[in-house]
Structure 1
Amino acid sequence: MNKFIRSVAALAIFLAPFCVKAQDPLRDKIVELAKPAKGIVGVSVLGLEDRDTLNYNGNSRLVMQSVMKFPIAMAVLHLVDSGLFTLDKTIHIKKKDLPKTYSPLRDKYPDGDVDVSLRDLLSYMVSQSDNDACDILLKFLGGPDQVEYYLQNGAKVRGINIEASEEDMAKKWEVQYTNWCKPRDMVKLIDVFYTGKALLPASKDFLYTIMTETTTGPKRIKGLLPAGTVVAHKTGSSGTNDTGLSPATNDVGVITLPNGKHVAIAIFITNSTADEATRESVIANIAKAVYDRQLEKKY
């Protein structure tokens, strides 16, 4: 019996390095940085060249809000790649297509009755997070089901669920919870996009460019990064209800490092009771910690 026990103990010692993974200092730091958010913080990181990954609440279903505009843009560009349309195709927009949600497009054309190209609608939707442009493109695609079909069958990504339009979410508070994603699946979609596995080069380059031109969320992923750092990203933001609850404060995208490498990152904060400045600082601090860790690597 003693010999048997000694053999088992020896085997356990031999297997220990393979069974127990040392705590990642970056993950530990993210745990601490997430605490001021007073909500659910989900983080997923992927080195696009070295394939190194890190996840914190990566499988949680978190509220997307306008982050959904990134997969919607990919679905539109898939139709362009298929030869069905070009970016110069225009859509006639009527006044009824411009409900009163956040919309620089409506600010420019308050009465509608204008033809706008897919190129411009995509730019409005992604770079300026225009809600009316989003819903016009969602209708053009045939609705949320068509985006889901593209994600699962074209991009081969699950864990992203889109059921409601921007207008739907504006009408009823609870509806925003039907549009959710898992952070690790959003990073998978970013990876599929960036590595050219889902879109042709021209479409990929166009979407990447308008993501670098994003005007929303300057204090999130970009907030603490060195000036001039290229970040192609898409934000998502909810309102705050009377009890001080904010369902979504998000930012996802690709950071270009000084060494020419790239890191895909998704940071979601769901059901937070912290104020907006705190929520944004949590995202900025996590992004900076990821950035610093990537620079420490020896490729």
Structure 2
Amino acid sequence: MAQWVRYFRSGRGIVLGGLVAAAALAGGLVSADRAVRLASAPLTAARLEIQRKQAPPAPAALQARLDELAAAYGEEVGIAVTDVTQGWTAGVDHERPYPQQSVSKLWVAIAVMKAADEGRLDPYGWVTLTEEDRSVFYQPVSYRIGAGGYATPISDLLRRALVESDNAANDKLMRELGGPEGVAATLEGMGLTGVKVGAYERDLQALTAGLVWQADYGIGWNFQAAREALPMATRQAAMDAYLAQPLDGTAPGEITTALAALSRGELLSPASTEWLIGLMSQARTGPRRLKGGLPAGWTIAHKTGTGQDFRGASVGINDVGLITAPDGHVYAVAVMMRHTRKPVPERLAFMQSITRAVAEQWMRDDAFQTAD
């Protein structure tokens, strides 16, 4: 662990240091004693359910605003907002699974960090990517694979997966944990039974398109060519099956519950928590999604998801993360679009309206506390 912490402090990660810092990350309202208890007590699915039942009701004004925004958008959307400190959750269709797409990279990263905390995986360990490790769509790390492969530390794959959303990096991380089943087992052991990865990125995308993955699809535009060669009926049937029961399907409320637990320091060691959220804050994807609606003084640590386009619609257009108010109060937010035909500017405007609604709720709470 000492080496792991030195890595965080090397400039490639963020460490505030100690359990009190982890408490501050959770909104500044968690005592050091409680932070110690949270870090030492194992999280379970039962404990998460107790937390949900004990949480106060969501603010009526925020719930009404989310309902209004979702109705005005006019398409199927899932929204969840969880107050990290108080525990309440407001939402729209937030208990039904939605396709995650690259949001699932977040759960892979958490599983990797948990394995590192437990000594089952060395974050300094080097792995070699070969031709067999190529994935699909965005995968810049695969361009470095030569005749002898490409050797890189696990920590770099984590950065690529979370900051750049590199599919090959994410798939390699999954292999280091024993594949999708290994990731699922690690998450279940942490109490996160409600979030799913489902499949390797390349397998998920192939199945969604009506294909079965083969190695040459990872080269150039071979995947796209094979997809275009399929009969339209085959592609439609595959897409319909995915939308009806997505392999990576997870409810927005489950996502914000997990993010809130991460922020409170309940999932990982303090150092791992700090570093993971630090990587999320560096994400290069989706700068105009949730982030675009934040007022001055707010920050975000997030992960986006973007699925395939088909017949004029896009699948799995998502953004989830932790947004922090100027006073340090943290909210976990998830906005998910199952199947949208809206133009991109309208999608972005909708996501931005959700973060503005959260900021407005914080201002109401702040004004109430000031008056009190």
| Interval containing the TM-score (normalised by the shorter chain) | 0.7 to 0.9
Q: Post-superposition shift, 1:188? A: 1.2
State yes or no: 1:245 paired with 2:245: no
Q: TM-score, structure 1 length as denominator?
A: 0.86
Partner of 1:6: none
Residues 161-204 of structure 1, C-alpha deviations (whole Å, 9 max, x = no match): 33221101222324572111011111111122111111011111
TM (norm. structure 2) is 0.70
Cα separation, 2, equivalents of 1:233 and 1:23: 24
Q: Which of the numbers 164, 170, 175 marks the counterpart of 1:139? A: 175
For the Cα contact (< 8 Å) 1:98–1:112, is it kept in 2?
Answer: no
Match of 2:85 in 1: 49
- Which structure 2 residues correspond to residues 9-28 of structure 1 after superposition, within 5 A? 24-28=60-64
The answer for the alignment partner of 1:180 in structure 2 is 249
What is the CA–CA distance in structure 1 between the aligned matches of 2:332 and 2:59, rounded to whole Å? 21
Preserved CA contact (<8 Å) 2:136 2:201: no
- Alignment of 1:273 with 2:341, yes or no, is yes
Relative distance call for 1:78 and 1:296 in structure 2 (3 A) is: same
For 1:112-165, what per-residue CA distance to the aligned partner results, in whole angstroms no more than 9, with x for missing partners? 7121111100000001111111111111111112222222222x1222233221
Give, in angstroms, the shift of residue 236 of structure 1.
0.6
Q: Residue 205 of structure 2 corresponds to which residue in structure 1?
A: 170
Following the alignment from structure 2 to structure 1, what is the Cα–Cα distance between the partners of residues 188 and 58?
34
Q: Secondary structure at the match of 1:216?
A: coil
Conserved in 1, the CA contact under 8 Å of 2:293 and 2:354? no
- Please say if residues 83 and 260 of structure 2, whose CA atoms lie closer than 8 Å, have aligned partners that are also in contact: no
- Structure (1 or 2) with the larger CA radius of gyration: 1
| Letter of the 2:202 counterpart | E
Q: CA deviation at 1:212?
A: 0.2
Q: For the residues of structure 1 that align with 2:116 and 2:308, how far apart are their CA atoms?
A: 33
Question: Hey, what does 1:208 align to over in structure 2?
Answer: 277
Instruction: Give the alignment partner of residue 326 of structure 2, picking from 258, 264, 277.
Output: 258
Query: What is the CA RMSD across the aligned residues, in angstroms?
Result: 2.1
Change in 2 beyond 3 A, CA 1:276/1:191 = same
Report the AA paired with residue 47 of structure 1.
Answer: D
Q: Which runs of 5+ in 1 are unaligned?
A: 1-20
How far apart, in 2, do the equivalents of 1:100 and 1:188 lie? 30
Structure 2 counterpart SS, 1:101: coil
Which residue, 62, 65, 70 being the options, matches 2:106? 70
Displacement of 1:100: 4.0
Partner of 2:131: 95
Task: Return the letter of the residue paired with 2:200.
Answer: S
